[in-house]
Structure 1
Amino acid sequence: MDFELNEDQRAIAEMAGSLMSDYCTDECLRDWDLSGQPYMQALWASCIETGLHALAIPEAAGGSGLGMTELIQVLDAQGGALAQVPLWRHQLAAATLAQFGGTALQPWVEQAAAGTGLLTVTLDGLTSVRGIELQASAEGADWRLRGRVAALALAEQSAAALVLALVQGQPRLVLLDLAQAGISRVPGTMTHGEAFADLHLDGALLSHSHVLPEAALGWLAPRAIAALAALQLGVSAEQVHRTVAYIGERQQFDRPIGSFQAVQMSMADSHVQLEVLRSALWQLCYRLDAGLAAPSEALATAYLACEAGHRIGHAAQHVHGGIGVDLTYPIHRFLYWSRGLASALGGSSVILERLGDWLNDNDTLGWKYDLEEHQAL
């Protein structure tokens, strides 16, 4: 099999890496921390100019019509640079609307592809202990929404959002026009700097055309996991890279601490965690782009992303010693990001429980049973 990227894919990866790294220097990140901006607006404008904001949006709507293989390369570069731009939420929300939204919602997709309207999305209700807090009740041919959407990224800056609601007792994706009446916001900021707001809805009216089919959630959820895992891969890879450079220079007992066996083993374990995540992520994206079911692959990738973020983050902070907790030194930002991404994925224990449930429901898989893995529900 040929595992090499094609010329166009390599060009996208190189362009994204160059754009992110040129903009997100340590000095720029330090200044942005103090700026109070919700996201890096100048960098986002460059993403729109280069088309990185619309890679996964269909060509018919003005996007590039590419797949997860191309998108995760951009997100890998974004994670390594700690670039605070809404790449994955914006275009996966638009791609979901393009595929499942019908003609009434296509103007939102076209605005997203043109970069004139920002979209956001949250699936936190799938992993939150409170579950889905937004309820839809029928009112004629439409719906009334009551409840809460917790920690919606860029809720105050976005034009519309794909969120989860219970519609007739079932989880469904619904599109909220964030400018409509009946929505109040409580803004905040995540530890890693991402702006969010809790939405409180008290009777907001939702058109029936804004409720997506049941299949939309099953399509979006594994792609959201792949996107978050790609960001985690980029964050963790740069964390390892910087830590290896540090331990090669830091002297203790008249020798680099990187020559100590315990430090070497810690970095070797981090590298293993990184490559395990990379392999799982690429398998997941291959299956998604090939149109194959990937329920267990998505959950396994989410679990490995949470574990890699936790283990690599702790190892990096540990070998940096006291300087690792100095906020004027850049390594702490990577720990903040890895924690934020693990939280967005749901956390290791929740994901492992869901994977266990999946294995329990699919107990006829494997070499001594009747079903191949791709036949699982």
Structure 2
Amino acid sequence: MDFTPDDTQAEIASLAAQVLGKSDEPGQQWHALAEAGLLALPLPADLGGDGLGVEHVAPVLTEVGRVAAAVPAYAVLALGILPIEALGTPQQRAEFLPPAAAGEAVVTAALHEPSAPLTSIPGTSGVAADGAWTVTGVKTQVPYAAEAVRILVPVALPTGTGVALVDPRADGVQVRPAHNASGTPEYTVRLDGVRVTEADFLQDRTSGHALQTVHRFALAGALALGDGLLAGALALTAKHVAERTQFGRPLATFQAVAQQIADVYVASRTVHLAAVSAVWRLASGLDADTELDIAAYWLAEETPSALGICHHLHGGVGVDRSYPLHRYSSAVKDLGRAVGGAAHRLGRLGERVAG
């Protein structure tokens, strides 16, 4: 297959790189992405968007990763806007998508539970009560939960599995800060008898299709972001070893250094090809689950060790907080947890192949 970006994808990537390069301040970068219309790409025309799909959102996330921008692009685009656009009711889409696309509101998803990353059988459950549902459970690793206007919460119901839009300020919701590597907002969310109405659920709440769709967008977004993070770290390291001299020679001219930077290049190209292939299949309406699992495994397995090589080749400067490399390695660690880790992804892939 030829995965060369089409003209629209190339223009989106170029515009995203341009607006992100104007400032290193996350708030300004986020405002610039919104002002450029890059957060509105998946919205339909009647909501002020371009009606584009995940294959056009992916380049935005890749460019965010390439500069390791500390903005909520993954949460808002992959965990919020794409699922709501695909599965939301007309009322939900009209209420939440325009503010999110304008950079004025955050929508995120709670897809992990204790010892159960990206669980397909949620321990969080709903019980019918007074014409609605009371939802109880614990969600972990929820990005930007306290800042969000709604959290997409998978819920096990007697009739199947649904995904509810939960207000983090509703009665019965506790949002507690959690630690991560990058220092970006992340929380544990506890729900204790939270009232959720039928109107709060995304469409198709009985077959499990809604949760599968949210998971696919979450993985696709993580892959695109991780592709950019590894490519950005590689570029930063290649520049460093080309400019830094030792014994009167650039570091890049030493055979051992050249071999190590080549290993990072191979890892970057592997992750890139796997990510682009999986996103292409998802955007084309094909069965992409196996490709998403494969790509997520490579992301979780290869990127941490590749970033370790980047740090090694930088020497002491690589761990200096005034130098940007730590932003890449920290974000990669968090992203590895977001896809469940290499062992989890390999296990899921094995189950899928075994039927």
Query: Which residue of structure 2 lines up, in the alignment, with residue 190 of structure 1?
Result: 180
Alpha-carbon distance in structure 1 between the residues aligned to 2:102 and 2:69: 21
Q: Is the 8 A contact 2:54 2:82 kept in 1?
A: no
- AA paired with 1:69? E
Q: Which SS does the other structure have where 2:39 is aligned?
A: helix
1:3 deviates by 4.5
Q: How many pairs are equivalent? A: 347
Alpha-carbon distance in structure 2 between the residues aligned to 1:114 and 1:247: 40
Q: Is the 8 A contact 1:101 1:210 kept in 2?
A: no
Query: Which residue of structure 1 lines up, in the alignment, with residue 19 of structure 2?
Result: 19
Please show how residues 78-227 of structure 1 align to structure 2 within 5 Å. 78-92=64-78, 93-106=80-93, 107-125=95-113, 128=116, 132-168=122-158, 170-212=160-202, 213=204, 214-227=208-221
Q: 1:141 to 1:303 in 2, by over 3 A?
A: same
Query: Which residue of structure 2 lines up, in the alignment, with residue 37 of structure 1?
Result: none
Q: 1:194 to 1:122 in 2, by over 3 A?
A: same
Name the stretch that deviates more: 322-331 or 236-245: 322-331
Alpha-carbon displacement from aligned partner over 1:335-359 (angstroms, at most 9, x marks no partner):
1111111111111011000000001
Alpha-carbon displacement from aligned partner over 1:86-132 (angstroms, at most 9, x marks no partner):
22322342332233232442322344345443211232249736954
Query: Which residue of structure 2 lines up, in the alignment, with residue 77 of structure 1?
Result: 63
Alpha-carbon distance in structure 2 between the residues aligned to 1:305 and 1:262: 25
Alpha-carbon distance in structure 1 between the residues aligned to 2:301 and 2:260: 15
- AA paired with 2:264? S
Normalising by structure 2, report the TM-score: 0.90
- AA paired with 1:119? V
- AA paired with 2:297? Y
Q: Which SS does the other structure have where 1:193 is aligned?
A: coil
1:166 deviates by 2.2
Alpha-carbon displacement from aligned partner over 1:139-171 (angstroms, at most 9, x marks no partner):
143110112222321112111011222223854
Q: 1:323 to 1:163 in 2, by over 3 A?
A: same
- AA paired with 1:121? A
Identity %, equivalent residues: 28
Uncovered stretches (5+) of structure 1, i.e. residues with no partner: 29-39, 362-377
Q: 1:257 to 1:99 in 2, by over 3 A?
A: closer
Q: Is the 8 A contact 2:117 2:339 kept in 1?
A: no
Alpha-carbon distance in structure 2 between the residues aligned to 1:205 and 1:243: 50
Q: 1:85 to 1:257 in 2, by over 3 A?
A: same
How much is the aligned-residue C-alpha RMSD, in angstroms?
2.3
Query: Which residue of structure 2 lines up, in the alignment, with residue 338 of structure 1?
Result: 332
The answer to whether the aligner puts 1:7 opposite 2:7 as a matched pair is: yes
Please show how residues 242-257 of structure 1 align to structure 2 within 5 Å. 242-257=236-251
- AA paired with 2:108? T
Q: 1:6 to 1:294 in 2, by over 3 A?
A: closer
- AA paired with 2:128? A
Alpha-carbon displacement from aligned partner over 1:7-54 (angstroms, at most 9, x marks no partner):
332221111001112212xxx5xxxxxxxxxxx333222222111112
